[in-house]
A and B are shown apart, each in its own frame.
Chain A
């Protein structure tokens, strides 16, 4: 199918993006890489009246490290993020997740910000930025604001962005030597959206887990933190991790949704498998920290 007719604005500046957004409200959609938006338009599931192409606007571009923050522009294409030494060094979790995002050709055009704003519950990046406690830099008619990852995602394909707002960049706290990361997902085919996935960061200090974030994706409307499991890990020496108790805490607090081919129970089993693998990673890599 072909998309319904729409207008196209190639924005030259952030100001232009914002003024079109203000003027057209929910009739407008920001076009970054288009790898999620255009398919839905080609299927006529989405029919925006105007697309605002932000690919030429400098504010959305670039990857830079400033103090203890890695800033990734919303318009950075997945391939740039995948190949960026800054990302590999300062946000290894994101680097670990990138190869699982779709396929090479899609990564050539799909963008970091576009993927986050699309807010697909099965996507990898929302879980990563939640695990990393990233902040989202948003601009609207009232000026800039910044929200944490937890507040950015509201539901399936839903974010906190108002109709007149746009995501500019994401700030990820740079990794420190105490951090240990884990990323894995269960997918039926390479590059598919996951059946269940886990993005995780732990801080290990003197052989003790000071803090851990376990963020699951493809199991609920938004990427979800296993709060009670995280709490149960706090202050636990690596050699004393009780994987079964942690898995039990996950089962007690998260009921994954069913998808077309996978039941909630199977997803929960996969979540627990991923959790055990993550805990093994913490235990083995945390020792080296």
Chain B
């Protein structure tokens, strides 16, 4: 029996781990009583609006702010020169991404503009409306420069270099060459290849990016109310670049209206807000409106991939060889860099499979479009779509079922730990089990026979699969080793209150995914109190232990383990104290249901409220030398592996209307292995939401740019996100393979849905169009592209 499967506190009858419990913060939100940043009003607060560049690439000849300064309600108008003394520029590189380079980025345009939407001048006024009125009176003379928009020619000798000081437009280049790729292809029974286009899209959190910077001149203290995923990272960055002692910067993150990775980066306009708050010495609010969100929130996934795969005659994958090219806008985004997505594509393509030869050549180039950086799933949707498309092509070429080719190629479930040809180490995966369960719950055989019957009636349905691995529970190898002050560890402090309830503070954050509920479940279980008596606080850097927040699907796995260990430590302290009071031995006692009980019989010895009363108010009655310590803090760093991988199998069932090119999603299934499931409902909902966020870019979402670098569909009316009517019901099931890296055994689940959905949709569409010999690989799969594929347009 594995160490982590021994009976533990988690398996007690009164454990909340593994159960669906309600989210304690949901009631507030359904009543509209959340506190989002824009709900906060501070005395003397001013509101920012920006004059943003209308050109993708231009030199600034002159800026006329006189008219704006004279407008009603204006408190200040700021160009880069007006804030230069209080803020330093930043460069988005990491030491461990060898050779990555980027240019210095400033909060406001510093002589040149590099993308349409870049902030050039900021207006502070007593209302947002007045700030906008004044921003319209700013006149900037631009001298247009040639925009670099097409990533495929960004490195061509005759293409202008966006940042001359960098020498060329190459941001990052990575090559992996493992095994003997050429030999594998030479010996293959089947070789397949294709080119795939992944569309630039963006996060569209319902709550736009929001910040209030409250700088108090007397103390030199900066309080930031932010809609953000990583409060401690933000604290560090604002302190560093505004030259403020980090101890004097506080980040308060209350409710966050969705984030999905986009609220994890350094944004020029938010940094400008910080600088202006310092200059003005009064609170500054900036709420990105939806139009500016589209041209400033990070974009993601603009990739062009040429890939080929070799199979033997049994349908076993032998090798993958691929080139990936991605254009990331004019800067590598700080501090996580815009090299990570490509890095993930290179690391993860073909992840579920046992091939030993792998070559990948990935290039990241600069261009004059909005910046691209990490968004939910980071690289996974591309890696999975490339790999799973190749698997389907292989199956087709070998006239085998796509499921059979996958099963023949999976890493065996008993082969772990396993090192992939890209160098990733997998602790333990369950691809076969997931696929077996998937086939069962979707009734694969039934669907195939229905498909055949429907085809006879000229109705074209398709079934698409995607097996995948996902990076979760990262170690410091993700960012820390590269020099970024982004914590991969997290902490939790749990305090027994005099009432007998507990208060837990944690460095992981809540964006709606249910972090606070997960921490409450683990803490209640570890200490032994009813969950109703647990209060969880997140998101305030002056309250919570130092931690990394929400990224790379780490909240439950890392934050949860810290909570478990803190809870156990507190419980030990409680038992020590109870033993002293009750004249018993600590190992004869336990804490259950909010009371100290006799371990053997379960009989109540003392409610925690009584223990709390004595500890906090009647210390005089305690035996000599007994000092109650009813608070415990524990931290957790996962350092056994660079990441703890999860795995999943997805299937999509859809119908293509071959007359109109419309795709009708019929069903979707996911079998997910995220290790120990702490709250089945929350896991299912993370998966469903994630799947829909992957269905969006497969069918609707894309940031369309003109040749000149103008975003053509930058409003919510023109940029299509999934709506209720078109989305299918999604069946979610589980295989549980707990990680041995922690006692809790939980891995992450936030991004896996997004990782698999585009691949499953693409494969299903191509399956549906099989009778026509049509294969589509350019997302999103619009009616236009489908009709073109069918020769009808």
A and B touch in the complex (CB under 8 A): yes
Residues of B within 8 A of A265 (CB): 787-788, 792-793
- Using A188-B783, A261-B704 as known contacts, say yes or no to A266 and B661 having CB atoms under 8 A apart: yes
Residues of B within 8 A of A195 (CB): 783
Interface residues of A in 164-205 (CB under 8 A from B): 186, 188-192, 195
- Selected contact of A188 from candidates B129, B720, B792, CB within 8 Å: B720
- Tell me whether B499 is interfacial, beta carbon within 8 Å: no
Interface residues of A in 28-57 (CB under 8 A from B): 39, 43-44
Name the prevailing secondary structure of the B interface residues.
Answer: loop
- Tell me whether B782 is interfacial, beta carbon within 8 Å: yes
Residues of B within 8 A of A190 (CB): 723, 725-726
Are B132 and A189 interface neighbours, CB within 8 A? no
Are A262 and B782 interface neighbours, CB within 8 A? yes
Q: How far is the CA of A269 from the CA of B662 in the complex (A)?
A: 12
CB distance from A244 to the nearest CB of B (A): 14
Residues of A within 8 A of B659 (CB): 269, 273
Are A262 and B784 interface neighbours, CB within 8 A? yes
Are A260 and B793 interface neighbours, CB within 8 A? no
Which residue of chain B has the shortest Cβ distance to A103 in the bound complex? B723
Which residue of chain B has the shortest Cβ distance to A5 in the bound complex? B133
Residues of B within 8 A of A39 (CB): 717
Interface 0/1 of A253-289, CB less than 8 Å to B: 0000000111101101110010000000000000000
Which residue of chain B has the shortest Cβ distance to A4 in the bound complex? B133
- Tell me whether B175 is interfacial, beta carbon within 8 Å: no
- Tell me whether B174 is interfacial, beta carbon within 8 Å: no
- Tell me whether A2 is interfacial, beta carbon within 8 Å: yes
- Selected contact of B783 from candidates A2, A44, A191, A262, CB within 8 Å: A262
- Selected contact of A189 from candidates B128, B660, B726, B787, CB within 8 Å: B726
Q: How far is the CA of A191 from the CA of B129 in the complex (A)?
A: 30
Residues of A within 8 A of B720 (CB): 188-189, 192
Interface residues of B in 706-726 (CB under 8 A from A): 712-713, 715, 717-718, 720, 723, 725-726
Interface 0/1 of B143-169, CB less than 8 Å to A: 000000000000000000000000000
Which residue of chain B has the shortest Cβ distance to A262 in the bound complex? B784
Interface residues of B in 772-793 (CB under 8 A from A): 782-784, 787-788, 792-793
Q: How far is the CA of A269 from the CA of B660 in the complex (A)?
A: 7
- Selected contact of A260 from candidates B718, B725, B787, CB within 8 Å: B718
- Selected contact of B792 from candidates A5, A189, A262, A269, CB within 8 Å: A269
Are A43 and B715 interface neighbours, CB within 8 A? yes
Q: How far is the CA of A157 from the CA of B788 in the complex (A)?
A: 30
Residues of B within 8 A of A5 (CB): 133
Residues of B within 8 A of A192 (CB): 720
- Tell me whether B404 is interfacial, beta carbon within 8 Å: no
- Selected contact of A261 from candidates B715, B784, B792, CB within 8 Å: B784
Q: How far is the CA of A285 from the CA of B730 in the complex (A)?
A: 39
Are B784 and A44 interface neighbours, CB within 8 A? no
Which residue of chain B has the shortest Cβ distance to A193 in the bound complex? B717
Are A260 and B783 interface neighbours, CB within 8 A? no
CB distance from A277 to the nearest CB of B (A): 9
Are B712 and A260 interface neighbours, CB within 8 A? yes
Of B128, B662, B723, B787, most buried by chain A (CB within 10 Å of CB) is: B787
- Using A190-B726, A270-B783 as known contacts, say yes or no to A260 and B662 having CB atoms under 8 A apart: no
Residues of A within 8 A of B712 (CB): 260
Q: How far is the CA of A1 from the CA of B51 in the complex (A)?
A: 13
Are A186 and B704 interface neighbours, CB within 8 A? no
CB distance from A187 to the nearest CB of B (A): 9
Please, how many residues of chain B have a CB less than 8 angstroms from a CB on the other chain? 31
Which residue of chain B has the shortest Cβ distance to A2 in the bound complex? B129
- Using A43-B715, A44-B136, A186-B660 as known contacts, say yes or no to A266 and B787 having CB atoms under 8 A apart: yes
Residues of B within 8 A of A2 (CB): 128-129, 132
Are A189 and B723 interface neighbours, CB within 8 A? yes
CB distance from B93 to the nearest CB of A (A): 35
Are B291 and A43 interface neighbours, CB within 8 A? yes
Residues of B within 8 A of A270 (CB): 660-661, 783, 787
Residues of A within 8 A of B788 (CB): 263, 265-266
Are A263 and B704 interface neighbours, CB within 8 A? no
Residues of B within 8 A of A268 (CB): 793
Interface 0/1 of A123-144, CB less than 8 Å to B: 0000000000000000000000
Which residue of chain A has the shortest Cβ distance to B662 in the bound complex? A186
Are B783 and A186 interface neighbours, CB within 8 A? yes
Residues of A within 8 A of B700 (CB): 188-189
Q: How far is the CA of A6 from the CA of B238 in the complex (A)?
A: 39
Q: How far is the CA of A189 from the CA of B713 in the complex (A)?
A: 16
- Tell me whether B289 is interfacial, beta carbon within 8 Å: yes
CB distance from A131 to the nearest CB of B (A): 21
CB distance from B721 to the nearest CB of A (A): 9
CB distance from B13 to the nearest CB of A (A): 48
Of B132, B723, B788, B793, most buried by chain A (CB within 10 Å of CB) is: B793
CB distance from A253 to the nearest CB of B (A): 18
Are B713 and A273 interface neighbours, CB within 8 A? no
Of A44, A186, A266, most buried by chain B (CB within 10 Å of CB) is: A266
Q: How far is the CA of A189 from the CA of B291 in the complex (A)?
A: 21
Q: How far is the CA of A39 from the CA of B716 in the complex (A)?
A: 11
Q: How far is the CA of A273 from the CA of B783 in the complex (A)?
A: 13
Which residue of chain A has the shortest Cβ distance to B782 in the bound complex? A261
Residues of A within 8 A of B717 (CB): 39
Residues of A within 8 A of B725 (CB): 189-191
Q: How far is the CA of A128 from the CA of B535 in the complex (A)?
A: 59
Q: How far is the CA of A46 from the CA of B407 in the complex (A)?
A: 59
Of B132, B291, B723, B783, most buried by chain A (CB within 10 Å of CB) is: B783
Residues of A within 8 A of B704 (CB): 260-261
CB distance from B505 to the nearest CB of A (A): 38
Q: How far is the CA of A43 from the CA of B715 in the complex (A)?
A: 9
Q: How far is the CA of A270 from the CA of B725 in the complex (A)?
A: 21
Interface residues of B in 121-145 (CB under 8 A from A): 128-129, 132-133, 136
Residues of A within 8 A of B787 (CB): 265-266, 269-270
Residues of A within 8 A of B718 (CB): 260
Which residue of chain A has the shortest Cβ distance to B129 in the bound complex? A2
Are B784 and A263 interface neighbours, CB within 8 A? yes
Which residue of chain A has the shortest Cβ distance to B72 in the bound complex? A5
Are B784 and A1 interface neighbours, CB within 8 A? no
- Using A260-B718, A263-B793, A265-B793 as known contacts, say yes or no to A188 and B784 having CB atoms under 8 A apart: no
Residues of A within 8 A of B662 (CB): 186, 188
Q: How far is the CA of A209 from the CA of B335 in the complex (A)?
A: 69
Residues of B within 8 A of A261 (CB): 702, 704, 782, 784
- Selected contact of B793 from candidates A4, A44, A266, CB within 8 Å: A266
Residues of B within 8 A of A1 (CB): 132, 289, 291
Residues of A within 8 A of B793 (CB): 263, 265-266, 268-269
Are A266 and B784 interface neighbours, CB within 8 A? yes
Q: How far is the CA of A188 from the CA of B726 in the complex (A)?
A: 9
CB distance from B726 to the nearest CB of A (A): 6
Residues of A within 8 A of B136 (CB): 4, 44
Which residue of chain A has the shortest Cβ distance to B290 in the bound complex? A1
CB distance from B650 to the nearest CB of A (A): 22
Are B132 and A273 interface neighbours, CB within 8 A? no
Q: How far is the CA of A225 from the CA of B254 in the complex (A)?
A: 56
Of A2, A44, A195, most buried by chain B (CB within 10 Å of CB) is: A2
Residues of B within 8 A of A266 (CB): 661, 783-784, 787-788, 792-793
Q: List 6 other contacts, CB 8 Å, given A188-B700, A190-B723, A270-B661.
A: A5-B133, A186-B660, A188-B699, A261-B784, A266-B793, A270-B787
Query: What are 20 sample pairs from A and B whose C-beta atoms fall under 8 A apart?
Result: A1-B291, A2-B129, A43-B291, A44-B136, A188-B720, A189-B700, A189-B725, A189-B726, A190-B725, A191-B723, A195-B783, A260-B718, A262-B782, A266-B661, A266-B783, A266-B784, A266-B788, A269-B787, A269-B793, A273-B660
Chain B contacts to A: CB under 8 angstroms: 128-129, 132-133, 136, 289, 291, 659-662, 699-700, 702, 704, 712-713, 715, 717-718, 720, 723, 725-726, 782-784, 787-788, 792-793
Q: What 9 A-B pairs come out closest when comparing CB atoms?
A: A266-B793, A190-B725, A2-B129, A265-B793, A266-B784, A273-B659, A262-B784, A266-B787, A269-B792
